Amino acid sequence: MGDQQDRAGKADQERQRLTAQLEQANKDLAAQKAIADKPVTEVERQNGELKIPHAEVEPTPIALPAISPRPDPIDTTTTPRSSSDETTWTVDQRRAAQTNLIALGHMRGTADGNFGAATRTAIKQFQAFAGTSETGILTEDESRSLNNIAKRLGALLARGQTSPDGVAADTVKGAQARFARAWAADKVSGEKPDPSEAVYWYGLAATDNEAKAFTNLGILLVRGVGTSKPDPDSAAVLWWSAAARGEANAMFNLGALWEQGIGVTSDIDKAKAWYQRAAVRGYPQAQAALKRLGA
């Protein structure tokens, strides 16, 4: 009993430590002079495609890859083992790499085993995100890392057949409908938040390739909402995948994670790289962060 109490106490202390760190990061960023038309702490309006009047997605001022993603990430036994000569890879090994690139959002289409221009571009983006040389050719280590991140993403999105409230997954179909369900459980004005339901439906919407679902699910996890404790590592995986799908909010969050050292050792160069990606997409808070960091 004493050991269980000690473990529970340590887990609670860790939760309090991460929560305090996140709150301090929020305060630090909120204190910055905004150069945008709205501060970081305000919500960012959703585009009209979700059909939810006045629904907004909240960008987190911190920030960093059931039903599994389709196609499923491939087991490590099928990943390429050669780092120097892709001509030695089997078709199944090439398909494995492509499947993982698709799962993470770096590549569109199907895994056909043909490493053409689209695959090379996807590999280069993966390498850029990972901070390695953008050669367009996967090394053995990169292939292993790609596979591991894709498998972890699959685990984060795995869902049972019914939600915590007992709603069957197949009664709400399509990325937009599932995102709307998650958002209603998350933070629609006038509704009592239901974090467990939000986590469930964001996961399904992400499985259906809704980029904003990856972003919002990561925000919940990094804040410890609907989870046992704040989980910045898992949030980083989700934001990586959202960023690969073009989500500037996720890019900004990854930059703030590296800048503030939340779940990672602070690295200003990596922070700048992520802020720059968000800034290129016109994200005003990222532009402000770059100016503040002298970039």
Which of 196-201's residues contact partners 24+ apart within 8 Å by CB, and which partners?
196/163, 196/164, 196/165, 196/226, 197/163, 197/164, 197/165, 197/167, 198/225, 198/226, 199/226, 199/227, 200/159, 200/163, 200/164, 201/163, 201/172
Give per-residue pLDDT as tens, 18-67: 555 555 554 544 443 332 223 222 223 322 222 222 223 444 333 333 22
201-250 pLDDT per residue, tens: 999 999 999 999 999 999 999 988 766 788 999 999 999 999 999 999 99
* Domains assigned to the chain: 19-67+168-292 (1.25.40.10), 76-156 (1.10.101)
Summarize pLDDT for 96-108 with one digit per residue, the tens: 999 999 999 999 9
Share of the chain above pLDDT 70, in %: 69
Query: What is the pTM for the complete model shown?
Result: 0.74
